[in-house]
Amino acid sequence: MKDNLTLLKTLLLSTSSVNIYKHSKDQKKRSRIIGNTVGVTILYLLLMAYCILLCIGYGIIGMTHIIPVICALTISALSLVFTFFKSNGYLFNFKEYDMLMSLPFEAKTVAGCKFLYMYIQSLPWYMSISIAMMIGYGIYAHPFILVYPAWLILSLFLPVIPMLVSSFLGFLIAKISSGFRKTNMIQTALSFIAVLFSFSLRFILEDVFRNQKVQIVLEEISKITEKAGNIYMPAGWFAEAVTSGKLSGALLLTGISILLFTIVFQIVGNSYRNINSALKSHAASKNYKMTRQKQHSVVQAIAFKEFKRMTGSTTYLVNGAMGELLGVILGVATLLIGFDKIVSTVTQGAPVDPSILQPAIPFIVYFLIGMMATTACSPSLEGKNYWIVQSLPIEKKTLYQGKMLFNMELTVPFMVFTTLCLCISAKVTLLHTLLYLLLGLALCAFSTAWGCVCGIRHIRLDWENEVEVIKQGSAVTIYMLPNMFVVMGLIVLVVVLGTRINHSLLTLILIFIAAVLAAISYRIVMILSKH
């Protein structure tokens, strides 16, 4: 553990924004750090406000006692999913691997240090949820004063077990894929399969509850939550420790977390060097033939370069293309199952006319397709090679146009496919289908341009691991979270307006608004490219 802490301290000091701000003389870099800090702080506050309001809702209906379990389950679920997306980039095939492995530390120590670094980088999000729910719990439960420090201390251990599970799963995927020539392709495929299984697990469990005729009403939410706490024991241990003051719960949560950490990285350490060596090597084709090279415009060449960059990185591909894959799955499922049945399933059988949801189809599709814009992270992915790009006879606006072109080439075909599937299943008229496709195109253009604005304004070139900009970058966070919340609100708003305004007129108005916002965002990109 002493070696782990030594390495961890070095990594944190070398990547700390506070340290960079303290010692850097570059005013632009200092201003960017301040801007990023303010933006992320606002997101933390919004997340905390949402959690507090959620707890107030539970308190009003007299269900304060389930808040600790809800807190533990929320943090555990988020850490399980987020860690799976990040573990590959943090633990394997990272850029500073050769430097770290040359130090006099064991492989398991390096792997454990990278896990702790990933844990600390994610901890502010989990603690924001914990502190907010602790405040909500305190408003109604009025617990003993010692509950608050116990809550905060044990919250530090809540993400550890699910993070270890995701990290071990990432280790297994890396170990399996390292045995093949196409390591990156196999690793990406296994990652997609694991993510899709995680998404489908929710519907499997929901179907089990429905078959058992469990009606989710206020009285039964408490029972279901208690069952969840019993099934996922760390949540139950946390709840027992903070509500009943049981020392056994606190000791089990902390002890099991530390024990699992030791076991997992003892196993990982045994194969760590072999896996990384296999992932960093590339097989050469034996039947390679020199052929005539195709000519492309500069913008198209940059877009193709971005395509190769994405397909060469499992982390980039899984995060950047997951929305598109989910869009295809939604489209195919809608054709096979039927739009009406899917609406009935989502609304739990409520008497909702599926036709009133038709104007929201473009936004439903965009919620998936626009989940992640590659332009939000691609400027930062140039990293320490950015000086090479600047030395080329290419204007910055051309570089950004190429990156935006790639995002359009990625999103538009999937948007068209998913929209057509939903429109066919929902029996939308030809005119409305064409309008929905135009609105989807305008939304893709806005997503691309606005993502590029975020990517340029919050560009980070001094990263040591691509996960820091693909998954945790300020540009991606500022683009993704507000975008998702706004789209969810727009879906509801469009459904309401669709009952009062002609669908064609409403869609035309939305096309105009989205196109104007896309044009404004593109103009901002062109202005930023001159600086």
Cβ atoms of residues 74 and 443 within 8 Å = no
Cα distance between residue 502 and residue 507, in whole Å: 9
Q: What is the pLDDT of residue 178?
A: 55
Site of tokens 């289908």 = 433
Give dist(CA 379, CA 452) in Å, integer: 8
Helix, strand, coil shares of the chain, percent, nearest 5, are 80, 0, 20
What pLDDT shows up at residue 442?
94
Closest CA to 407 of 504, 310, 481: 310
Highest mean pLDDT, choosing among 50-54, 91-95, 210-214, 509-513: 509-513
CA angle 274/279/280 to nearest 5° reads 100
C-alpha–C-alpha distance, residues 398 and 314, integer Å: 27
Alpha-carbon gap, residue 234 to 253, rounded angstroms: 6
| 3-state SS class at 334 | helix
CB of 23 within 8 A of CB of 35?
Answer: no
Q: Which helix (H) or strand (E) holds 368?
A: helix 361-369
* Nearest CA among 453, 397, 446 for reference residue 39: 453
d(CA 43, CA 227): 32
Alpha carbon 173 to chain centroid distance?
Answer: 19
* pLDDT averaged over every residue in the chain: 78
pLDDT at position 460 is: 80
More confident residue, 444 or 493: 444
What b/e sequence results for 230-240 when a residue is b if at least 16 CB atoms lie within 10 Å of its CB, and e otherwise? eebebbbbbbb
- One-letter amino acid at 308 equals K
Q: Kindly report, residue by residue over 449-479, the tens digit of the pLDDT.
A: 999 999 888 888 777 667 778 776 778 888 8
So what's the pLDDT on residue 512? 94
pLDDT tens digit sequence for 226-252 = 565 566 788 888 888 888 878 888 898
In SS3 terms, 160-218 reads as HHHHHHHHHHHHHHHHHHCCCCCHHHHHHHHHHHHHHHHHHHHHHHHHHHHHCCCCCCH
Q: Is there a contact between 253 and 81 (Cβ–Cβ < 8 Å)?
A: no
Tokens, residue 100: 């770290």
- For the segment 384-395, the average pLDDT, to the nearest whole number, is 70
Query: What is the gyration radius of the CA atoms in the chain, in angstroms?
Result: 25
How sure is the predictor about 421, in pLDDT bands with cuts at 50, 70 and 90?
A: very high
> Token digits for 330?
């939604």
pLDDT confidence band for 209 (50 / 70 / 90): very low
- Structure confidence by residue, pLDDT tens digits, 260-294: 888 888 887 777 777 766 655 544 445 555 555 56
| 181 has a pLDDT exceeding 70 | no
Lowest mean pLDDT among 4-8, 186-190, 309-313: 186-190
Q: Is the pLDDT of residue 357 over 90?
A: no
8 A C-beta contact, residue 432 and residue 511: no
Query: Would the pLDDT of 72 be above 80?
Result: yes
Name the residue with higher pLDDT: 407 or 270: 407
Confidence of residue 208 (pLDDT cuts 50, 70, 90): very low
